[in-house]
Amino acid sequence: MPDRASHLRQARRNAALAAHLAELPHSPYTDWVIIACFYAALHYVEAALYPEHTEKGGGQVHRRRQEKVELTWGTTVGRLYYQLQVASEIARYVGNGDPTRCYFDASLARHFVQLLARFKASIGYPE
């Protein structure tokens, strides 16, 4: 099971990847920006709640983590997390890896990078 430092390292890597891909001219990777933003948020949450909340798995774990985010930081922060999660699911599953079906343009990808920054600052990771 990863420790707090491992979660922070992964969160920062995912956030850096998202920011880098979002700034590429005519980036074909806007879906990956969104996915990386959500997984950065997930790892920030795991680091902040460690060792209290460290679960692995799919949908039910995501739902419980969402509930824990709202209980810990309130509904406004919970909504930020939920937006990142839902956008990630759309990016992963709706387009099915077909870049011509990507629902996220460069402007929206940059918006999600900013949303991640707001989220992480809201849970105590302002850097």
71 burial level (CB within 10 Å; 0-12, 13-18, 19+): exposed
At 58-73, the pLDDT tens digits run: 567 888 899 999 999 9
At residue 34, the pLDDT reads 95
Global model pTM greater than 0.85: yes
At 20-59, the pLDDT tens digits run: 999 998 888 889 999 999 999 999 999 998 776 555 655 6
Asked if 45 contacts 121 with a C-beta cutoff of 8 angstroms, the reply is no
**Residue ranges of domains in the chain:** 4-12+30-122
| Residue length of the chain | 127
